[in-house]
A and B are shown apart, each in its own frame.
Chain A
């Protein structure tokens, strides 16, 4: 990788970190467990790298490691999204007609 590419990557990393900080700071404590489950599913995007290593099947070593990685990250993607959804489904809206419901319909 050229030094240009490294610098670009650092920019992306730092800005994504700030974005994450600002966005996640607004997540209420109520949803912290689903948040962890969701970020876990998202970071399983390492699946993308695992697919390439496994798909190229360049050496026995890399194929075995790639296989393990694809299985492990697929578990996280599939399980992570399902579990987050299962949890969020349980968070019942307040019983009385809340103003938030109207906003949501409007948006």
Chain B
């Protein structure tokens, strides 16, 4: 009886989870979604604590563990700056995977011999996924935080080593299905999974991080669902499946936005493409036009419409608030300002949207690539701010370019293109950008934040006021 009531409460919790995702479909209802999710959680935890079989020692430990987790979770949730969001998300994948992996290993030790072959196989997969996502996410967080080099690290036969280890993992899982009493092998399995997580992420460059984060999200969900199978817990299965599909959908969107396959992202080591590919154009020094910030600001002030294209460079420079100030100043002059967001701009899905939302940019001004691409011929000025590959026209016609076929923002169709850049160094992928040599392009050299600050002052005329 009690068991059935608990299951029914779990069912209500599942409905809460589903609603919380459904309400995420619009910014106006999304916060209601969080509430639904929280209710689901409180019900699920309450029902779980009503289960029989806890020892008094266990209950004390639960209270301590919940208290520690909450004490760490609250500052992590409230204090994190928006610019640190990609590594924060990666870190939370790591925590989730750590929990699932630890429980998976514990279950092997506790009940391994009671489980059937199906449960043992699923449990094995779960331990592998948990371990892999744990170290993979830590690596991703390290790369995003720039504690680790963002460039791909490659060695000969990398993919063979990876597949070899994954093969050994599969063999161990199969062995454990028949001999679950050899529990020490579970520890070997977990260790190998941790190694795989590192090995799979070191060859992946920063530009591919949006896809990788989404994929890790998906794996984390799948491992939770796997745990649900083993424990016959439908709540875990549903929540895991929802998380798994969410990650998968995001990863597919990211891959499409780069015109690349999963296989290519995971094993292609994008950033390591031979640099001669796009280097031909660089050899012959094409003329570029540059402008001072003041000149650029004056041109924007005269324009009817300005589209700002933010990229990772804006995030690095933390220039989003200054960008907003510039946009405000331009709008005061009667200029129509919009933002064009490429799906893979930045280091995680939706990165630019979050940053600009933080800077109080109303979200109806943030336009997807598909929404804005056909408008560029009517745009007077495009301001490219720390974006590079996503505006490189080579993607449309240069079959030798590593980014050939990737959908880009057609900024080259605008009347004037301004590119804010530190120097002429090529972008992350090491690809020369022919946009810089377009006769309509003006290069504005300098730090994104400094340049935008200057521009905002020039447009608003504050400088004249001060000098008077």
A74 to B364 Cα, complex, angstroms: 35
Evaluate contact between B48 and A52: CB separation under 8 angstroms.
Answer: yes
Which of B72, B243, B350 is A30 in contact with, Cβ under 8 Å?
B350
Residue of A53, A57, A75 most packed against chain B (CB within 10 A): A75
Known contacts: A1-B232, A17-B241. The answer to whether A35 contacts B350 by CB under 8 A is yes
Evaluate contact between A36 and B237: CB separation under 8 angstroms.
Answer: no
A75 to B94 Cα, complex, angstroms: 11
A contacts with B, residue count (CB < 8 A): 86
Evaluate contact between A71 and B236: CB separation under 8 angstroms.
Answer: no
A38 to B24 Cα, complex, angstroms: 9
Evaluate contact between B119 and A1: CB separation under 8 angstroms.
Answer: yes
Which of B31, B225, B232, B243 is A40 in contact with, Cβ under 8 Å?
B243
Evaluate contact between B92 and A37: CB separation under 8 angstroms.
Answer: yes
CB contacts (< 8 Å) of A47 on chain B: these are 45, 99
B contacts with A, residue count (CB < 8 A): 115
CB neighbors of A among B77-106 (8 A): 77-78, 80, 82, 85, 88-89, 92-93, 95-96, 98-100, 102-103, 105-106
Evaluate contact between B242 and A78: CB separation under 8 angstroms.
Answer: no
Evaluate contact between A20 and B99: CB separation under 8 angstroms.
Answer: no
Residue of A28, A43, A54 most packed against chain B (CB within 10 A): A43
A75 to B72 Cα, complex, angstroms: 6
A90 to B355 Cα, complex, angstroms: 9
CB neighbors of B among A20-60 (8 A): 20-21, 23-59
Is B65 an interface position by the 8 A CB rule?
Answer: yes
Evaluate contact between B225 and A13: CB separation under 8 angstroms.
Answer: yes
A100 to B21 Cα, complex, angstroms: 19
Evaluate contact between B65 and A54: CB separation under 8 angstroms.
Answer: yes
Known contacts: A19-B18, A37-B89, A79-B76. The answer to whether A100 contacts B246 by CB under 8 A is no
Is B157 an interface position by the 8 A CB rule?
Answer: no
Write the nearest CB–CB distance from A56 to chain B, whole angstroms.
5
Is B74 an interface position by the 8 A CB rule?
Answer: yes
Evaluate contact between A35 and B250: CB separation under 8 angstroms.
Answer: yes
Stretch at the interface among B212-220, B258-266, B378-386, B399-407: B212-220
Evaluate contact between B99 and A76: CB separation under 8 angstroms.
Answer: yes
Which of B73, B100, B349 is A79 in contact with, Cβ under 8 Å?
B73
Write the nearest CB–CB distance from A50 to chain B, whole angstroms.
6
Chain A residue with the shortest CB-CB distance to B33:
A38
Evaluate contact between B88 and A101: CB separation under 8 angstroms.
Answer: no
Evaluate contact between B357 and A92: CB separation under 8 angstroms.
Answer: yes
Write the nearest CB–CB distance from B366 to chain A, whole angstroms.
6
Write the nearest CB–CB distance from B331 to chain A, whole angstroms.
10
CB contacts (< 8 Å) of B107 on chain A: these are 53
CB contacts (< 8 Å) of B436 on chain A: these are none
Evaluate contact between A63 and B74: CB separation under 8 angstroms.
Answer: no
Residue of A13, A53, A68, A93 most packed against chain B (CB within 10 A): A13
Chain A residue with the shortest CB-CB distance to B98:
A72
Is B41 an interface position by the 8 A CB rule?
Answer: yes
CB contacts (< 8 Å) of A89 on chain B: these are 31
CB contacts (< 8 Å) of A39 on chain B: these are 21, 217, 221, 242-243, 246-247
Known contacts: A6-B229, A56-B55. The answer to whether A83 contacts B363 by CB under 8 A is no
CB contacts (< 8 Å) of B341 on chain A: these are 29
Is B267 an interface position by the 8 A CB rule?
Answer: no
Known contacts: A20-B241, A42-B239, A75-B95. The answer to whether A82 contacts B70 by CB under 8 A is no
A50 to B231 Cα, complex, angstroms: 11
CB contacts (< 8 Å) of B245 on chain A: these are 17, 20-21, 24
Known contacts: A49-B233, A56-B55. The answer to whether A72 contacts B95 by CB under 8 A is yes
A58 to B106 Cα, complex, angstroms: 10
Write the nearest CB–CB distance from A13 to chain B, whole angstroms.
5
Return 8 A-B CB contacts under 8 Å, by A number. A23-B21, A38-B24, A73-B69, A79-B92, A85-B31, A87-B82, A92-B361, A92-B363
Known: A31-B353, A55-B55, A69-B106. 20 other contacts (CB 8 A): A6-B118, A6-B229, A12-B238, A19-B242, A29-B253, A33-B351, A38-B24, A45-B235, A45-B236, A46-B99, A48-B44, A67-B61, A68-B102, A76-B92, A76-B95, A77-B69, A86-B78, A87-B357, A94-B363, A94-B364
What 8 A-B pairs are tightest by C-beta distance, nearest first? A74-B69, A82-B77, A78-B73, A32-B350, A20-B245, A33-B350, A32-B349, A16-B241
